[in-house]
Amino acid sequence: MQHPDRPWTAFYPAGARAEIAATAYRNLADMIRAVAETYGSNPAFTCCLPNGMNGTLSFAQVDEMSDALAVYLREVAGLKQGDRVAVQLPNGLSFPVAAFGVLKAGCVLVNVNPLYTADEMAKQFADAEPHALIIVDMFADKIPAATLGHPIPNIIVTRVAEFLPVLPRGIVGLVQKYWDQSVKPIDIAHTRLPEALAAGRAKAAQARIEVDAYHQSVTGDDVAVLQYTGGTTGVSKGAMLTHANLLVNMEQVMELLTGHLAKGREVALTALPMYHIFAFNVNLLGFWWLGARNILIPNPRPLTSLKRAFENYKITWMSGVNTLFNGLTNEIWFTDAPPRHLKFASAGGMALQSSVAEKWQRITGAPVIQGYGLTETSPVLTFEPLGKARPGSIGVPVPGTEIVCMDEDGQPVPQGEPGEIAARGPQIMKGYWRKPEETAKTMRGDWFLTGDIGVIDADGYIRIVDRKKDMVVVSGFNVYPNEVEDVLAAHPGVLEVAVIGVPDAGTGEAVAAYVVKSDPGITAETLRAYAKEHLTAYKVPKRVEFRDELPKSNVGKILRKDLRAEVLTQVAAE
């Protein structure tokens, strides 16, 4: 039924709610517990390695393990309600145990990219001030440098193959230790995750602890997750996402899939990293709520890492970014034997190219639908109604969400005219952690300013026409030019530098650096190698070009927009 003030609700599935302002759960921990009691021994998470080796945890096992971790954090590590716990893990069976354990303890989860350099970790740790860190052993050697000056008192270390059966776990351990030497000695005091769980179980039995008491007073308005995002200023900011933000947004997305997903019967493929807000909310929380079996891929690169997962499991749903879908449709093994049980796939993180969507549907017989949102919006604001997609559109607002396009004065622009997309709804963040001035810049009353320029059709479909921010999106990951410029500018051979995004067939956009030398001898290879020491791989400039000068304003500010316009003109002429 169409909502009188929101014409886009006419495109919702039959029976879908137009308004979702609250959920039946007091907090995420309550939801996690209720779902586990419903689905019990059903398989919840399966970690599938590239060679097909795998391990599975049931809903009941994840529930029990996360209980044990919650007790460890509160009783052994001494954390209190509201304390932060950093989780720096790839997809694997440890991730849901860690995330759910933190939430059950009444603590705040801080998602950290496991590929971060020590420099990047240090910035996030300094801001979040976590009381504990749960990290995979492959990257634990970065901890001493990352915590210099702001130590983390409790370190818990896990493995990629944690909770897999003994044989595959042992094989992976031997390969990592002796073959590729990806696991280095850990020279800091730490506790292994299985040891932490054992200590938690022992404490719970000894003191007859009721885990639910830890989150009894946690409300929907309390912060559940600090999800870090950058900005055009280069300042790293932790978006404070509350329990209600995440619970409501999860239901908003699932509501638009009414009639297409069956509780307790779906098999989801999770190749996107769950530390990313889209996969965290939709894949981890949403498919737990649905009682689905979640097939976790620790690393989807190369794409052959997904082959055995598609062969061995009847995947009914998957999420990804444009580059993942594009890459799979160019893999012979995938096109020769596409998944036959797939109902649909969802895309986020970057624009879905129509040519990719068409090719995907032609090969798999299943559509790709895309959503739009930001870290600050938990993250989904719009979603394409299944079977009602429009080329170039990001869909319509999810239930309970209002979207307008505003001019520079904060006034709505005439219908059909471009303006900055502003949104309000129950999924909008509480604000930026300890940065009220940054929060004020993005909020106009209860409207959140996205920084994207869009156009809204008369019936509510939305198109993005430009990006106000200078952010570069590489395969769905955000790269902020100031951060890259700061690193390159620290090189003694660099006089000036400007970083922009340029079109790239493989990743959507690529990072390009334009440099004025102070040392005639430096090369592009030198600067890329230097950047790799300080930045995650996707932030390292793919292109480094040397210039005699950079475009500037009359006050000396480097004009990225002029540089971008010049480069785009060159690309168009090629």
Question: pLDDT tens, 272-330?
Answer: 999 999 999 999 999 999 999 999 999 998 999 999 999 999 999 999 988 889 899 99
Mean pLDDT value of segment 156-177: 86
Tokens of residue 43, six digits: 């398989």
pLDDT band at 514 (very low <50, low <70, confident <90, very high): very high
pLDDT at 28 (0 to 100): 98
Q: What sign has the CA pseudo-torsion 485, 125, 280, 181?
A: positive
Q: Report the pLDDT value the prediction gives residue 258, as an integer from 0 to 100.
A: 85
Structure tokens at 431: 């604000």
Give the model's pLDDT for residue 313: 98
Q: What is the pLDDT of residues 317-365, one digit of tens each?
A: 999 988 889 899 999 999 999 999 999 999 887 677 788 889 999 999 9
CATH superfamily, domain 472-573, is ANL, C-terminal domain (3.30.300.30)
Residue 157 confidence (pLDDT): 97
Does the pLDDT at position 86 exceed 80? yes
The pLDDT > 90 percentage for the chain reads 73
Task: Say if CB 276 and CB 304 are below 8 A apart.
Answer: no
pLDDT digits (tens, 9 = 90+) for 92-111: 999 999 999 999 999 999 99
Q: How confident is the model at residue 80 (pLDDT cuts 50, 70, 90)?
A: very high
Q: What per-residue confidence (pLDDT) applies to 4?
A: 57
- Average pLDDT (386-393) is 85
Token pair 């998944």: residue: 339
| Paired tokens of 385 | 């109604």
| Coil/strand/helix, residue 442 | helix
Has residue 2 got a pLDDT over 70? no
User: Can you list the pairs that 218-223 forms with residues at least 24 positions away whose Cβ atoms lie under 8 Å?
Assistant: 218/26, 218/27, 218/29, 218/81, 218/106, 218/243, 219/26, 219/27, 219/243, 220/22, 220/23, 220/26, 220/27, 220/244, 220/247, 221/430, 222/27, 222/82, 223/82, 223/108, 223/430
**pLDDT above 50 for 1:** no
Please determine, for residue 232, whether its predicted confidence score (pLDDT) is greater than 80. Answer: no
pLDDT at 234 over 70: no
What does the pLDDT average to over 136-151?
A: 94
What pLDDT is recorded for position 178? Answer: 66
Q: In this structure, are residues 233 and 362 in contact, taking their beta carbons and an 8 Å threshold?
A: no
The pLDDT-based confidence of 567 (bands split at 50, 70, 90) is confident
pLDDT score recorded for residue 103: 98
pLDDT attached to residue 556:
61
Mean pLDDT of the chain: 92
Q: Assess whether pLDDT exceeds 50 at residue 125.
A: yes
What's the confidence (pLDDT) of residue 478? Answer: 80
What pLDDT, on the 0 to 100 scale, is given for residue 356?
86
pLDDT tens sequence across 431-469: 999 999 999 999 999 999 999 888 999 999 998 887 777
Least confident residue range of 43-52, 409-418, 558-567: 558-567
Domain spans in the chain, listed from the N-terminal domain onward: 472-573
